[in-house]
Amino acid sequence: MSGTRSPSRKAPATEADTGDGARWPVWKLSLLLYSFAAAAVAINLFMLALAGSWLGLPTLSPWWALGLSVPLGIPAGWAAGRWVRRLMDEADGV
């Protein structure tokens, strides 16, 4: 049961420390978060096209929004990976 209880009230309860200091690199986090980022891009593109139809712009079908989100999801996934890495570093006190 080593590592399941916190040694103090201020330190969070964590699993046993392996001591290897392994950190998730941004590119791995980006790969992990890519599908979520691409889905968010697709939804936002579709909604933006619907809002644009009020201005007389053509609408975007859901399939086109999904197709466009595949390449546009790459920078969005990278930004999400950097954001999560920064949050992890902040939580670790680095």
The whole-number pLDDT of residue 16 equals: 47
pTM: 0.72
Q: What is the CA radius of gyration of the chain?
A: 20
The whole-number pLDDT of residue 22 equals: 79
Residue 8, domain member (yes or no)? no
Quickly count: other Cβ atoms within 10 Å of residue 30's Cβ: 21
Residue 74, domain member (yes or no)? yes
Residue 7, domain member (yes or no)? no
From first to last of its 94 residues, what are the pLDDT tens digits of the chain?
555 555 556 655 555 455 556 789 999 999 999 999 999 999 999 999 999 999 999 999 999 999 999 999 999 999 999 999 999 999 988 7
Rounded to the nearest 10 degrees, what angle do helices 26-52 and 62-92 cross at?
140
Residue 60, domain member (yes or no)? yes
Please list the alpha-helical segments (H only) found in the chain. 26-52, 62-92
Overall number of domains in the chain: 1
